[in-house]
């Protein structure tokens, strides 16, 4: 077969055959990835890589298999398929299906390597043999990163070598639990450079977002987030992913609208072999954005959609409760409902049972504390404490929430020092972990709750520091802005209070019925700010 390098110019590519499937291949980016293949096999391969860069797993697998069907000896098509079964950042990197894909090329690694006709392609293939070989996830990820690093040194001007090396750095960072962000910064440095060279490269934009997905680094990837929103509208994850950066900036309109579009795209790509698709994640994040905007009607709609998907998934999968896609939707429902209660402060005390999730327990504990039901606060704290101790290493999030509810319990009993001690412990656990990426977890941010408790204890000066920290971690959160404004007002700093109240009215624009909005308006009017 005649093989020659090829240039991918995918913006506007057409697929064979009519119908809805054609939209999948429109506008997925542009980049060069020469291989030893040519013709239709190379075009399918390039489309597969484009989807791979946007984490469109099903679409990527289809394209790599199409390339294999045309050219059964095309080693890179099997390489690509092996990477399309696992999320490289949020999965256990199960080598089972990737291994099967590689075995269809040849039964052994040695025989497979022979089928890669160039040294560069052998380098790509050798690296995934490591990734899907022996060892646990962390070990394989680090060795794969090292192999890709060697390939990058050998081909420093090859954009796809650089792009996949950057992704290997991000994957190793997650696999090893690296909290220094050293690997992330290294990856982001590479992808930012690639992005500046080609602002239509899906991997460069996408991996820049992942690399700088933290409160401090997020500004570095804002331009990439804007661009990635437009590069691959056929892939739900590509529409959702920019909201990782928009959420870090408190850009709630974009968090809502992007996830609405991602949800729609996921529903359009609904498949029997992946019934929930990528629709659940946008529902989660979209609701969080609308709650910050104060659009509580839309926040309820996200829950209704999720409940509908859980029911729909049950019948589509032909299985009972707990089938993979439906389980994903079903497990998210308590989270969204608990978040709704906490963000709206429409307090709702639910019965505490063995089936209660930690999110529900936190929402119930907070509701009970705010309505004076100390008995229920006690029950919620006990249930969370028991949940926190499950498993060999316990449950970190449940441990944080248990301390939050315990602090509320003791604050309600007049034990101020015990309450602040528990919040100190919760804060220490949070600060020892990775910086937040996305919606607040726990659903009531620790620093925000700490500030509110300090206000209740008549310690506004100390509360200011907690609210300001909360706003560093969760920019533009209206509940933290409201707490900060109140704390400054109580200390007599009217200028800073007015600044926080003004920002609150901008976030909650049009929410004149909200008590917090009216409070802000009264303060601003009294100080001549309106």
Question: pLDDT tens per residue, the chain (530 residues)?
Answer: 444 444 455 444 433 333 333 434 557 899 999 999 999 999 999 999 999 999 989 889 999 999 999 999 999 999 999 999 999 998 889 999 999 999 999 999 999 999 999 999 999 999 999 999 999 999 999 999 999 999 999 999 999 999 999 999 999 999 999 888 999 999 999 999 999 999 999 999 999 999 999 999 999 999 999 999 999 887 889 999 999 999 999 999 999 999 999 999 888 776 555 545 578 889 999 999 999 999 999 999 999 999 988 787 543 433 333 344 556 677 889 999 999 999 999 999 999 999 999 999 999 999 999 999 999 999 999 999 999 998 767 799 999 999 999 999 999 999 999 999 999 999 999 999 988 989 999 999 999 999 999 999 999 999 999 999 999 999 999 999 999 999 999 999 999 999 999 999 999 999 999 999 999 999 999 988 76
SS3 214: coil
CA pair distance 448, 407, nearest whole angstrom:
13
> Would you tell me which CATH number, out of the four given (1.25.40.10, 3.40.50.970, 3.40.50.620, 3.40.190.10), belongs to the domain 357-494?
1.25.40.10
Angle at 494 between CA 488 and CA 500, to 5 degrees: 60
225's tokens: 């987030």
7-241 and 357-494 in the same fold: yes
Q: What is the pLDDT of residue 519?
A: 97
Work out the number of other CB atoms within 10 angstroms of the CB of residue 152: 20
SS3 527: coil
Q: What is the pLDDT of residue 24?
A: 46
Q: What is the pLDDT of residue 529?
A: 73
CA pair distance 41, 444, nearest whole angstrom:
51
Spacing of C-alpha 21 from chain mean position: 27
3-class DSSP string for 114-172: HCCCCHHHHHHHHHHHHHCCCCCHHHHHHHHHHHHHHHHHHCCCCHHHHHHHHHHHHHH
**Which pTM was predicted?**
0.89
Q: What is the pLDDT of residue 314?
A: 45
Q: What is the pLDDT of residue 449?
A: 98
Work out the number of other CB atoms within 10 angstroms of the CB of residue 408: 28
CA pair distance 337, 191, nearest whole angstrom:
38
- C-alpha dihedral (358, 180, 226, 267), degrees to nearest 10: -40
Query: Could you tell me the residue ranges of all domains in the chain?
Result: 7-241, 357-494
Spacing of C-alpha 116 from chain mean position: 36
Q: What is the pLDDT of residue 17?
A: 35
End-to-end CA distance of the chain: 75
Q: What is the pLDDT of residue 322?
A: 37
Q: Please check whether the domain covering 7-241 is classified as CATH 1.25.40.
A: yes
Helices first, then strands: H and E counts in the chain: 26, 2
Q: What is the pLDDT of residue 271?
A: 59
CA pair distance 222, 143, nearest whole angstrom:
31
CA pair distance 503, 243, nearest whole angstrom:
21
Q: What is the pLDDT of residue 171?
A: 97
Contact indicator for 516, 482 with CB cutoff of 8 Å: yes
Q: What is the pLDDT of residue 327?
A: 61
Provide CB contacts within 8 A for 504, sequence distance 6+: 478, 481, 482, 485, 516, 517, 520
Contact indicator for 516, 503 with CB cutoff of 8 Å: no
User: CA 269 → CA 25, 56, 102, 230, 236, distances in Å?
Assistant: 12, 10, 27, 18, 9
299's tokens: 């926040």
User: CA 313 → CA 275, 333, 335, distances in Å?
Assistant: 6, 14, 18
Q: What is the pLDDT of residue 530?
A: 66
């Amino acid at each position: 077969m005649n093989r020659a390098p090829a240039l991918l110019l995918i913006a506007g590519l057409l697929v064979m055959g009519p119908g809805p499937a054609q939209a999948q291949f429109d506008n997925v980016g542009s980049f060069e990835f020469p291989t030893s293949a040519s013709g239709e096999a190379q075009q399918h391969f390039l489309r597969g890589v484009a989807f791979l860069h946007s984490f469109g797993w099903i679409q990527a697998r289809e394209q790599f298999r199409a390339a294999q069907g045309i050219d059964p000896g095309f080693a890179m098509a099997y390489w690509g398929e092996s990477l399309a079964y696992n999320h490289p950042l949020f999965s256990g990197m199960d080598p089972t299906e990737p291994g099967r894909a590689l075995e269809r090329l040849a039964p052994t690694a040695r025989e497979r390597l022979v089928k890669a006709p160039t040294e560069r392609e052998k380098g790509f293939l050798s690296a995934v043999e490591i990734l899907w070989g022996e060892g646990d996830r962390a070990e394989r990820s680090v060795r794969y990163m090292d192999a890709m690093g060697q390939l990058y040194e050998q081909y420093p001007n090859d954009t796809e070598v650089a792009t996949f090396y950057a992704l290997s750095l991000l994957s190793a960072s997650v696999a090893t639990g690296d909290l220094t962000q050293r690997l992330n910064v290294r990856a982001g440095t590479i992808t930012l450079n690639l992005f500046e060279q080609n602002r239509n490269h899906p991997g460069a934009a996408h991996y820049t977002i992942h690399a700088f997905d933290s409160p401090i680094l997020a500004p570095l990837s804002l331009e990439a987030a804007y661009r990635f929103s437009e590069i691959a509208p056929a892939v739900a994850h590509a529409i959702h992913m920019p909201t990782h950066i928009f959420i870090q900036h408190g850009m709630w309109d974009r968090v809502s609208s992007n996830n609405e579009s991602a949800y729609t795209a996921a529903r359009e790509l609904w498949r029997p072999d992946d019934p929930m698709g990528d629709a659940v994640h946008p529902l989660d994040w979209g609701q969080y954005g609308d709650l910050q905007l104060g659009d509580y009607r839309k926040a309820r709609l996200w829950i209704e959609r999720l409940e509908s998907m859980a029911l729909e998934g049950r019948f589509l999968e032909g299985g009972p409760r707990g089938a993979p896609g439906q389980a994903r939707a079903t497990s998210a429902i308590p989270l969204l409902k608990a978040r709704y209660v906490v963000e709206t402060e429409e307090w709702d005390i639910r019965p505490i049972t063995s089936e209660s999730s930690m999110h529900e327990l936190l929402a119930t504990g907070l509701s009970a504390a705010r309505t004076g039901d100390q008995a229920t606060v006690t029950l919620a704290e006990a249930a969370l404490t028991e949940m926190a101790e499950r498993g060999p290493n316990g449950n970190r999030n449940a441990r944080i929430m248990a301390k939050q509810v315990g602090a509320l319990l003791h604050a309600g009993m007049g034990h101020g020092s015990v309450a602040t001690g528990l919040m100190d412990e919760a804060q220490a656990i949070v600060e020892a972990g990775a910086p937040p990426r996305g919606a607040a977890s726990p659903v009531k941010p620790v620093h925000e709750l700490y500030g509110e408790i300090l206000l209740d204890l008549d310690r506004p000066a100390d509360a200011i520091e907690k609210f300001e920290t909360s706003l560093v971690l969760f920019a533009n959160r209206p509940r933290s802005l409201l707490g900060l404004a109140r704390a400054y007002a109580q200390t007599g700093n009217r200028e800073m209070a007015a600044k926080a109240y003004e920002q609150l009215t901008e976030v909650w624009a049009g929410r004149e019925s909200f008590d917090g909005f009216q409070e802000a308006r009264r303060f601003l009017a009294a100080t001549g700010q309106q």
